[in-house]
Each structure stands twice: as C-alpha cells, then as structure tokens.
Structure 1
Amino acid sequence: MTDRTLPLPAPGNAMGGPAAARAPRPQPRLRPRIAAGVVAMLALWGVWVTWDTFVRSTRGQHADQLALEGAARGQGVLWELAEPVLGVVSNSFVGLGLATAVVLALARGRWWLAAQVAILVAGSNLTTQVLKHVVLDRPALLDVARADINTLPSGHTTVAASVAAGLLIAVPRRWRPVVAVAGGAYTAATGASTLIGQWHRPADVVAAVLVVLAWGAGVCALSSPSSLDQSRDGVEPGSSGAVGLLLLGTAATGALALGALGSVRGYSWGLPWGGDLTAYMGGMLGVVAVSLGSFALLLLVRQSTARP
C-alpha cells in the first residue's frame, strides 16, 4: 500500500500562514477628511470676516471699542477672578500643555498623532503672531488712544485654545467629549478674562479661537492610519451629549450676543438704548458662543476623522 502525502496549505490560505496573520491596516476615510478641510477653510474665512467687520469699518470699531470701554464697569471684582486665569498663560504653560498632549499620543504609540498635536499648537500661535504683526492692519477710524495698533487675534486666547485643542486631538476617543467641554469652557474663560482686563476687544478673541479651529480641523484632515481609533461598533457614549451641550450653549449665548449687537448698532445710530455696558456684555456672550461652538465642531471633526 502506497502512502499518500497530504498537500501542505499554501501561504496565506484559510488554514494559516503569514499572509493570513496580517490583517489589512485600517485607512482614514475620505469624506470626513474633506469635511475637516472645509471646516478649516471656513474658520480661516471667519477670521477675515471678523477683521473686515470689526476692524476695517467705523461701525465695527465703534462696537468693539464700546465693549473695551464697558469693561471698566465692575472691573475690580471681576478682575480678582480673571487675573489668575490669565496668569497661567505663559511660555511654560504652552510647553507643559504641549508636552502633556505629545506624551499622551506617544504613550499610545501614535507618532503621527504626536506630530499633529505639535503642528496644531505651534501653527496656531505662529499664525496669530504673523496675522497680528505682519498681515493685518488697523486703520485709525476712531479718535481714541492707540487707534492704529492692531491687536487681532488675541495671543493669550490662542495659547489657551491651542493647548486645549491639542489635548482634544491626543486623548483616547472616550475622553474627547469631556476634554471638548472643558476645553471650550476654559477657552471662553480665558477670552472673557482678556476682556475684563481690557487687554483685548471681543473681535480679537473671536479671531484667535477661529485660528485654532482652522489648525485643529486642518491637522484632522491630514489624519494617517496611526491617528485612527480602534474599531468599535456603535456610537460612543457621551459624544452626542457633549456636542449637544456645547451647541446649546452656543445657540443661547449667540442669540443674546446678536441681540446686544443690535442694540449697540442702534446706539451708534443715535437711538436712546445700548452703550458700553451692552457692548461689553454682548462681546462676552459672543466670545463664549464662538468658543463653545468651535470646540463642538472640533470634537465632531476629530471623532469622524479618527473612525477607521
């Protein structure tokens, strides 16, 4: 009787082998990356619109200047709260925040993600300085001190927002909703504190937040396989709730800010309502609205581009 030798399985077939052990590497999806790029471009356009509306026009400068003057109301009490918030914003704060975000990414074995965080923080702060000191100007349309010195965008707000956005990019998926809410609140608090201290006008803060949103969405559009999350079925608990909370805050404060802006416009036309206090409160609400809305968008962009 002749022995019959069973055929060995071919490499990579269903019975095992090197090819069978290697699963296809997940790749970033195209549509979310395109959407992220669109968000980045819209945010940059928003920076230009903010500058064009509140710096290059007399009415815009008037409303912004009224908000700056209105910050003198109750400043003593509010400054006690605002000064510590601004006190933490420094070069060491940027370094510590950036290092934390990069270490989080590297601890997860995400090298390109760590690079994305560094690009986001460095790019946002460099862009703000270039826009403020090189690209944008401020025509002297009002008879006020230092009328021709441009202060848009706000450097302090950019620092705070970029560090918060970097952490949002770096943390694992389940932690992003919490970081987005905390980051939006912290950015709004920093921006409001610059208004309280009369360091900046509302438009300066809004432009700074939009600069960070542009860079945050931009780096998400460049996601690589190492930036993706582990594949999971279903929707992560907390993401929709965090987005809803941020958007609800955006809608409420945004509506009030628009109402205040309308009153200030009435004041500029000689009507008997509005004034510096209305402009100040409207500017505060506008800063909160843009901060919360930007982090809601950034959370949506990051979650969608990170899904395998």
Structure 2
Amino acid sequence: MPASDGLVAPRADAHARPDHPTLLHHPTPPQHPTPPHRPAAGSAARVAGLVVVLAVALGTWLVWWAMVTTWPGQRVEELVFVTADLFQDVVNRPVEPVLLLGSPPWLVTGFLAVCGVGLLRRRWGATAMAATVVVGSNLTTQVVKDGVLYRTGLVGEWNRDVNTLPSGHVTVVAAAWAALLLVVPRRWRPVTALAGAVATCAMGLATIADRWHRPSDVVAAVLVVVLWTALVGVVAPAAWADRRQDDPRARTERPTRLVAIFLGAFAAPLAVLSVLAAAFAEGHIGSGPAWDAGLVAYVGGHLAAFAVATAAFAVLLPLSQAAVRPR
C-alpha cells in the first residue's frame, strides 16, 4: 500500500534478521545420554586396604624385632612368663576349654562353617575371599613361625631358642571371625565384629595366662589376619561385590561406624597402657620387689592382647563392608 508523502513502504524481507538478538533462534543440539557417575568408593577402599596391608606387615616385623631379638623385649616377656607361672594353677581350668578352640579340628570346623554360610547365601566370590583369609592366615603363621623368623635366647629357660611368633591358636580364632565378616549379610557385620573381637581377645588372654604364648605372639597373629583380610579386599574382582538387593548402605553405615569407633575407643588407651607397662617393667627389673615389675608386665601383656583384638576388628569391620561393597 502506498505510504504518505509519495514514498513506498519497504517490503518486509522474509530472510531479514530480527532487530533483537534475544529473538534469535538457535537450534538445540542433539542430546546424548550422560553416562552415570561412578563413585570412587571402590578405588578408595582398595587404597585403604593396601595401606593397611603395608602397615600391618611393618608392624609385625617391628613386634618381632622389639620383643624377640632385643634384650629388653625378651626380659619383659620373661617377666610375663614368670608371673603367669604363679597363677597358672588358678587359671588353667577355666581357660582350658578356650584353648581347645584353637586346635586343628576347630580350624576345620570354623573353615567349613564360614564357607557354608557363604555358599548358602550363594555368595561365591565372598566365599572364595573368606576361604582365602582362613587358609592364607594359618599357612602364613606356620611358615613365618617355623621357617622365616627366628629367636635367639637371651634370657629365660622356657622355649629359650624356639620361635613361637605368631600364635597359631590365636590365628585360628581371629581368621575364622574375620572371614565370617565377609560372608554374613551387611547388617550382621557390626555384631559379628563385636563377637570376633571378644573371641580373639579370649583366646589371646588364655594363651598368655596359661603360658602357651608370649604377648608378642598374640599381637603378631592378629596382625597376620588383618593383613590377609585387607589383602583380599584389595585384589578381589568387582564382580564379587554385594548384590544390589542386599542391605542398602544407608542402613548399615551408622552401625558400622558406631561399632568401629567403640572398638577403637577401647583399643587406643589399652595399647598405650600396655606399652607403658612394658617400659615400666623393664626399667624396674631388680630395683624393687620381685613381684612389682613382674605383675606390671603380666597385666601389660594381657592389655596388649585386648588392645590388638579390639583394634583389629575396628579396622576389619569397615574393610569388610568396603571389600564386599554394594553395586
């Protein structure tokens, strides 16, 4: 249509760009599905397990070096033996049934029971891990005790030149309970860890009280079990993880954390007290009543067994939850 003043209105160009850049139309790029984010919990668990393996391997060697190859270490543990002899007639009867649980028949029984739980739950991977913990721990204890480590008798008379580190009896019990952690449902593992700590502590105390083993033998045996449990968690394939329909992590994280903290809260002060007791006993040999240093060493040896058992399961519980983790 003609415009005023004789001018012709410009014809709108269909291809003209709009005046406002906000009206520009940008084609939406095609959307590609984003791959689901995979948490790094598995990698963190393996790194933590590897750290534990290295730490307990070093710790086992240090225990052997300090308590078996040095004069002060042997003197302290000889004091434990001498004092235990004073109480042996009293403690022998109540601890004898406990010591029987570390014999070969009970080793086989525990192995079959642990594997049976895993097979009944159709957890083939977890069963293999548990079997590895039991067999590996017990074989390592015997090989290390008889063929790797040595003892040069510096003091005492009983088994003066016979290496007894690590304790086979303690290994049997600790390995069975550590393996059980890997095959029971996640919601049962905190209770299992508590029971394992009690059972391992009982065996450790029994072997010391009845003069079957020195305190360092007990500590080393528990460390061997921790090493194997951590190791299987490091090398286990991801396909051996908990099934998705198993107990969700949200229901098990709090009990796991509480039990681990509870056990650790016992272990830390007892470990410190056991070291202080050993230092006191070694420093007061011959400087006071004969029973003074001996009684302190005796109590300190039992505290060491208690500390290592509770500390072990404070570590093994979260390791077992991570090693057989939900997918």
**What is the TM-score when the length of structure 2 is the normalising length?**
0.82
1:294 is aligned to 312
Q: Aligned match of 1:50 in 23, 39, 63?
A: 63
Q: How many equivalent residue pairs?
A: 287
- Classify 1:244/1:292 alpha carbon distance in 2 versus 1 (closer, same or farther; 3 Å): same
- Distance in 1 separating the partners of 2:214 and 2:178: 22
Q: Aligned match of 1:71 in 70, 84, 98?
A: 84
2:186 is the alignment partner of 1:170? no
Query: What is the CA deviation profile of residues 201-255 of structure 1, one whole-angstrom value per residue up to 9, with x for unaligned ones?
Result: 1001111010111011111112323432244352514211211211111023223
1:272 is aligned to 288
SS for the counterpart of 1:72 is helix
- Classify 1:170/1:27 alpha carbon distance in 2 versus 1 (closer, same or farther; 3 Å): farther
The one-letter amino acid paired with 2:107 is V
2:98 is the alignment partner of 1:81? no
- Distance in 2 separating the partners of 1:135 and 1:254: 27
1:234 is aligned to 250
- Distance in 2 separating the partners of 1:210 and 1:145: 24
Shift of 1:197: 0.9
- Distance in 2 separating the partners of 1:229 and 1:293: 25
Contact 2:102–2:168 (8 Å) recurs in 1: no
- Distance in 2 separating the partners of 1:258 and 1:196: 18
The one-letter amino acid paired with 1:299 is L
- Distance in 2 separating the partners of 1:151 and 1:159: 15
SS for the counterpart of 1:139 is coil
2:192 is the alignment partner of 1:179? yes
Shift of 1:113: 1.3
Shift of 1:32: 0.5
2:261 is aligned to 244
2:302 is aligned to 284
Contact 1:67–1:276 (8 Å) recurs in 2: yes
The one-letter amino acid paired with 1:76 is D
Larger Rg: 2
SS for the counterpart of 1:251 is helix
2:228 is the alignment partner of 1:202? no
Identity score, percent: 38
Query: What is the CA deviation profile of residues 252-286 of structure 1, one whole-angstrom value per residue up to 9, with x for unaligned ones?
Result: 32232123112112214x54374211111100000
Contact 1:54–1:60 (8 Å) recurs in 2: yes
- Distance in 2 separating the partners of 1:235 and 1:138: 48
- Distance in 1 separating the partners of 2:217 and 2:130: 24
Contact 1:111–1:226 (8 Å) recurs in 2: no
SS for the counterpart of 2:159 is coil
- Distance in 1 separating the partners of 2:268 and 2:94: 25
Structure 1: 5+ residue runs without aligned partners? 1-13, 15-22
Query: What is the CA deviation profile of residues 164-191 of structure 1, one whole-angstrom value per residue up to 9, with x for unaligned ones?
Result: 1111111111111001111011001001
The one-letter amino acid paired with 2:192 is V
Query: What is the CA deviation profile of residues 34-83 of structure 1, one whole-angstrom value per residue up to 9, with x for unaligned ones?
Result: 21121012111111001000001000111111111111233223222211
- Distance in 1 separating the partners of 2:281 and 2:138: 31
Contact 2:126–2:324 (8 Å) recurs in 1: no
Contact 1:73–1:277 (8 Å) recurs in 2: no
The one-letter amino acid paired with 1:81 is P
Query: What is the CA deviation profile of residues 284-303 of structure 1, one whole-angstrom value per residue up to 9, with x for unaligned ones?
Result: 00011011101110111111
Contact 1:192–1:284 (8 Å) recurs in 2: yes
- Classify 1:47/1:24 alpha carbon distance in 2 versus 1 (closer, same or farther; 3 Å): same
Contact 2:78–2:156 (8 Å) recurs in 1: no
Contact 2:187–2:251 (8 Å) recurs in 1: no
